[in-house]
Chain A
């Protein structure tokens, strides 16, 4: 803001900003503090602001109760596969919708737009029945394939390609480049910022996702980390919050680290492009 603010008003702004920071950071702090406490401490004085000493017992308990490494592996593999597939498929589809003239393009674009309006929460019952029929419940297929194509990703790639001049594609065709080469070798690098944002947002969404893995898995084989951490609480006896919070830290740390490193990309992916 170029308009000058009075000192008094700026002091008020600082005060309110600190209140906001406290409202969003203190809960995280509380999660970390609790995770380093012991059970007797939590029972005796649950709101003590600091643990008597840093006790990693809750973390040992987390790793002993759930196979953290395996769940993390399954989760990351699933999220990376989905994000990569979405980009690989959205590029040619977005290219066809943005740059090629053909009969049925309006219809195809309509299908993509329609799917923007349908969340997984409205499809899981029939999709579960479908996977149950072909015996694919509890498989990586059931976790990945329904999200391999992204309506939003296709839409955003199309929008980004509308801004790329046709001359670039014509020149590439003159040089003898095939259509797939144009899409993956020439246009993809030009769309890098869009693609990076898409990949990160998709990765974070599916890494965090609780709903789909919950309804598509019934046993251990392809359980993801959010399910495992939620189970810590269900198996607990009610007051073992230090263990639940330790699980929470393990679950959130990778995403918060990614956020710290790539904040710009994640914010850009969320903000509307105008």
Chain B
């Protein structure tokens, strides 16, 4: 439609565009600029060129942080998608009972990460935690999962899976609603069993949904911070130092603005790669639904 005057659209967009540019677009440029300086927030900044990037890349620290984050994300994405799809297929049934179970699983997605992290910290506690006691009863010996460099990261990822499975389940449930019952009935008439219907009718139709869940969960888990800050502070022996936590450490614990900015830039580029993929999936979904 034609706007009433030339300036109307811009007046309506101005507050939104101004805030988005100042707080989401410009900061990326500022980070790129700051990453070229060495600055501790107190003494004057000093131009160092690419030295911050070089320092981070030296000894493979940057690569380790990226791989660790990817490892955490992989467990979370694979775990939530498998459980989410399984639960969606299991709980897509009429009746109050199934609605209640669906709500129970989804509730974890609504509760604060702080509450979830603290709760699991207590359950995983080496001394009095129920999970620790259970493992001991099963003969695993005295285990403090969060204090063990080998197990701390998988343990955090399991907490992430518990928190985010409800999200995957809800999206898969919405996807299942779009599978025409007539197709399933026709397949059944042709003699396809439950498993064959799932494999040859339901699953192919769920492929776009799965792609959507995969990309959104990947982006979400890539930004994980709360579980790390609350449960392990990056330890033990840096085993759980994920990307955002590493940035946080650089600026607030080491007071190194330059390195924190350099890490931010690398983080943003990685995120852009993942998110570019996400946007393509969204676009193809939007076109497919028309």
Contact B181 A2 (CB under 8 A): yes
Q: Which one of B103, B105, B128, B264 lies within 8 Å of A122 (CB-CB)?
A: B264
Encode A228-261 as 1/0 by CB contact (under 8 A) with B: 0110010000010100110110011001100100
Docked CA distance A143–B193 (Å):
55
Q: Which one of A30, A119, A121 lies within 8 Å of B123 (CB-CB)?
A: A30
Question: Does B30 interact with chain A (Cβ within 8 Å)?
Answer: yes
Q: Which of A71-106 contact B (CB under 8 A)?
A: 89-90, 92-93, 95-97, 99-102, 104-105
Q: Which of A113-164 contact B (CB under 8 A)?
A: 113-119, 121-130, 132, 145-146, 148-149, 151, 154
Q: Which one of A96, A114, A127, A244 lies within 8 Å of B118 (CB-CB)?
A: A244
- For the complex, would chain B's binding face be called helix, strand, loop or mixed by DSSP majority? helix
Q: Which one of B12, B93, B230 lies within 8 Å of A179 (CB-CB)?
A: B12
Contact B114 A117 (CB under 8 A): no
Docked CA distance A101–B6 (Å):
10
Set of chain B residues within 8 Å of A62, measured between Cβ atoms: none
Docked CA distance A43–B127 (Å):
9
Docked CA distance A226–B271 (Å):
26
Question: Does B248 interact with chain A (Cβ within 8 Å)?
Answer: yes
Docked CA distance A230–B112 (Å):
11
Contact A46 B128 (CB under 8 A): yes
Docked CA distance A210–B26 (Å):
24
Known: A20-B101, A46-B127. A255 touches B110 (CB 8 A): yes
Stretch at the interface among B13-21, B55-63, B148-156: B13-21
Most A-side CB within 10 Å, residue of B13, B225, B289: B13
Most B-side CB within 10 Å, residue of A21, A105, A121: A121
Contact B113 A208 (CB under 8 A): yes
Set of chain A residues within 8 Å of B24, measured between Cβ atoms: 114-115, 118, 123, 151
Question: Does A111 interact with chain B (Cβ within 8 Å)?
Answer: yes
Known: A118-B25, A118-B268, A208-B112. A27 touches B120 (CB 8 A): yes
